[in-house]
Structure 1
Amino acid sequence: MLTISEFGRRAGLSQKALRLYDVSGLLPPARVDPANGYRFYDEEQLDRARRISVLRQLEMPLSTISEVLACSDADAVVRLDRWWAAEEATTAARRATLEYLRGRLNRTGVPELTPRPVLVRDVPETKIASIRAETNQQLLVGVIVSATDEIASYLTAAGAQRTGESWVIYHDPITPEGEGTVEMCVPFTGLVDPSGAIAIRVEPAHQEAYCTITMDECAFPRIMHAYDLVFDWVRSAGRPEAGSPREVYRPDCHLLPRDAPAVDIALPVIERTA
């Protein structure tokens, strides 16, 4: 048995951190002396403690660390890769926002949004697998990437076939100050059961107005001008809204050139009657 100070030294963790991990249930001591409350750890806990230390160096949240440690090593690699992809996507989005702002301040940036048409299309009834999540603007991109990858991996393991684009439906406004509900949707064919956070449902057939933007134009706040374009067109055309706004991502859009068409900003609308 090791004292908390000796265990912390060997694990690379402070006593304050060890007490936090005890309270959170992430790394409880092997024994607590009932007389004086001293914590003692087993040497066999060092491997878990060192993994926690490494993951905290990556600034992984405690809740995610708990998920990683609960997995087998093979599943932990998948969960780690999914989290890191989300982190990289979030960093890329922040960088794009920074460059947009710098360009506006230097008056050297690209226009808010170049003129483009708003079109209307019919969307057939579609079977989708989806995950709903509460998030704010800072975490949004990471949530989208992580959840979409989780759904895609689950569909592949279940023998289902993805049918192309993926969607993100905004059931609430997403702001830097407050959280709202978003739903990541992946259309598929085949027989798949719901699992955990993954729901299976049918998106009803509808018409939607949309405009297409590039990955560069997805950066906040530039993307909001595309939403303005669609909402303004819907109002001027007298087409009442019939659902929540959404972003429709082309397959592997992150691999497309940054200035290539990649995402549709869409809004379901009531169909015209003759």
Structure 2
Amino acid sequence: MTAPRDTEDELTISEFGRRAGLSHKALRLYDVSGLLAPVRVDPVNGYRRYAVSQLERARRISVMRQLDMPLSTIAEVLAGTDAEGLIRLDRWWAAEQATNEARKATLEYLRDRLLRQAGPGLPERPVLTREVLETKVASIRADTDQQSLIGVIVSSTMQILAHLGQAGADLPGTSWVIYHGAVTPESEATVEVCVPFTGLVDPAGPIAIRVEPAHSEAYCTITKDECAYPRIMLAYDLVEDWVRRSGRPTTGPPREVYHPGFQHLPGSAPAVDIAQPIEGQP
């Protein structure tokens, strides 16, 4: 059986795929995922028909897939206006760049270990304690594994900052990530990206507004270069060992507290506090 002839404003899947640069398999996947459904499917023979006006959307999908963008992110980019899509695109790309930088640092750590150099270790530093005041924060919780962690942190922080900026909130410039479980290369856990602020802000979408209770915490400071996995785990070891020796029970999950202007700091600058909430002194 041959395919029926095109109507004036419709294309067969073959013609549409050729003009959009997409295979039949890709078009069927985008149909099932809801990204790009045909305008008409013949109820008798199942032939898919696409409108000429869908070519621009199809080409955008094709370009984003060449960037290895997940289908869920493509759906977000295409969901609203072009201006909204640009914001989502820039947020995703910033997360991708941060992830690539983290992977590069991890590669250098492994290379140094294989070369048996002493560099990748973490020089000794003190573990200190401090009192943290009650703080209002905007936060996003997400499940992630180690490979996606940096991207989740960057994109969530950008989303929160945009929301707080639109609401006119005052920002101290810091942020932190709370680890509600162990994030590893093999398993996911929940992380919570928190940005403190002052002012009146309503929750929106995944962004919650809550109060971080006052607490004591033990912490050590690391440089921006020392932030990369697995080197950062040595700082966690320092804090955990100190807490165990001190005999002071923990009162919450560990966290990474990023100093103001973290993204602009040089690699050798103190940039992050690895912190563990603990019971206060009697």
How high is the TM-score relative to the length of structure 2? 0.96
Could you give the per-residue CA deviations for residues 39-87 of structure 1, whole angstroms, max 9, x where no partner exists? Answer: 0100000010000001101110000000100121111111000000000
- 2: CA distance between counterparts of 1:73 and 1:45? 15
Q: How do 1:31-110 and structure 2 match up within 5 A?
A: 31-110=40-119
Matched, 1:183 2:185: no
Matched, 1:201 2:210: yes
Matched, 1:155 2:171: no
Aligned-CA RMSD value: 0.7
- 1: CA distance between counterparts of 2:159 and 2:50? 35
The verdict on how the C-alpha distance between 1:47 and 1:243 changes in structure 2, with shifts beyond 3 A counting, is same
* SS of match in other structure, 2:142: strand
Whether contact under 8 Å (2:222, 2:271) holds in the other structure is: yes
- 1: CA distance between counterparts of 2:172 and 2:104? 31
Whether contact under 8 Å (1:100, 1:109) holds in the other structure is: no
Q: How many residues align?
A: 273
Whether contact under 8 Å (1:68, 1:80) holds in the other structure is: yes
Hey, what does 2:244 align to over in structure 1?
235
- 2: CA distance between counterparts of 1:42 and 1:156? 40
Could you give the per-residue CA deviations for residues 149-175 of structure 1, whole angstroms, max 9, x where no partner exists? Answer: 100010000111112310000001001
Q: % of aligned pairs identical?
A: 70
Could you give the per-residue CA deviations for residues 167-201 of structure 1, whole angstroms, max 9, x where no partner exists? Answer: 00000100111110000000000000000000000
- 1: CA distance between counterparts of 2:245 and 2:204? 42
Hey, what does 1:122 align to over in structure 2?
131
> Mean Cα displacement is larger for which, 106-115 or 220-229?
106-115
* SS of match in other structure, 2:26: helix
- 2: CA distance between counterparts of 1:136 and 1:109? 28
How high is the TM-score relative to the length of structure 1? 0.99
- 2: CA distance between counterparts of 1:111 and 1:87? 24
- 1: CA distance between counterparts of 2:33 and 2:281? 56
Matched, 1:226 2:238: no
Could you give the per-residue CA deviations for residues 74-122 of structure 1, whole angstroms, max 9, x where no partner exists? Answer: 1111100000000000000000000010001002351410000000000
Whether contact under 8 Å (2:120, 2:231) holds in the other structure is: no
Whether contact under 8 Å (1:93, 1:219) holds in the other structure is: yes
Listed as ranges, the gaps of 5+ residues in structure 1 are: none
Hey, what does 2:5 align to over in structure 1?
none
- 1: CA distance between counterparts of 2:120 and 2:98? 24
- 1: CA distance between counterparts of 2:153 and 2:11? 43
* Aligned residue type for 2:202: D
* SS of match in other structure, 1:93: helix
- 1: CA distance between counterparts of 2:265 and 2:202? 32
* Aligned residue type for 1:36: N
C-alpha deviation, 1:215, in angstroms: 1.1
Could you give the per-residue CA deviations for residues 9-65 of structure 1, whole angstroms, max 9, x where no partner exists? Answer: 000101100000001111000100111101010000001000000110111000000
